[in-house]
Amino acid sequence: MFDEESVISFNQICPECGVGNPENSKNCLFCEKDLEAVILFLEDDSFDLEINHEALLEYRKKFWGDERTGKVNKYFLEQMENIEYGEPVSRLIFTYDQDRIVIPLKRENLEKLKRVLNQIFNK
Ligand SMILES: [Zn+2]
């Protein structure tokens, strides 16, 4: 279902707790999260993003440093509509529950996200 490129972009850091795990781990050593369900994990400036088979998760981070606030926004993939990719400012935009959601992120992260979302929504 997913090509090799998107598998390589998953770096085995657990999206839930941030602990590094050995290649091809089934579950996180620390929190036991199901790592096989994770399709993509990205670290950006103000959040970490996870895509699994069910949802897009946004783990909010504090303004300074890598610490998380504890707030997690969860968007079920099947409810995401009208997906767009911002130009020239790199951001992901979509409609969710009648709200327009805008997630600004680094260019290189947007490119990875775009590839994975295209695979998910064009299958
Ligand atoms: Zn974990």
Residue ranges making up the domain that contains 49: 4-121
SS3 track for 43-58:
ECCCEEEEEECCEEEE
CATH code for the domain in which residue 25 is found: 2.30.29.30
- Are the beta carbons of 85 and 110 closer than 8 angstroms? yes
Instruction: Tell how strand 99-104 and strand 38-43 pair up.
Output: unpaired
pLDDT reported for residue 8: 44
Which residues have CB less than 5 Å away from ligand 1 (the ion)? 14, 16-17, 19, 28, 30-31, 33
What is the Å distance from ligand 1's center to 33 Cα? 5
Tens digit of pLDDT at every position of the chain (123 positions): 555 554 444 468 899 998 889 888 899 999 999 999 999 999 999 999 999 999 999 999 998 767 899 999 999 999 999 999 998 899 999 999 999 999 999 999 999 999 999 999 886
Whole-prediction pTM value?
0.84
pLDDT reported for residue 105: 94
Q: How many residues does the chain have?
A: 123
Reported for 11-17, long-range contacts at CB under 8 A and 24+ positions apart, including other chains, are: 11/41, 13/41, 13/43, 15/41, 15/48, 15/50, 15/57, 15/59
pLDDT reported for residue 12: 82
What is the Å distance from ligand 1's center to 88 Cα? 35
3-state class (DSSP) for residue 42: strand
What's the total number of domains in the chain? 1
pLDDT reported for residue 11: 61
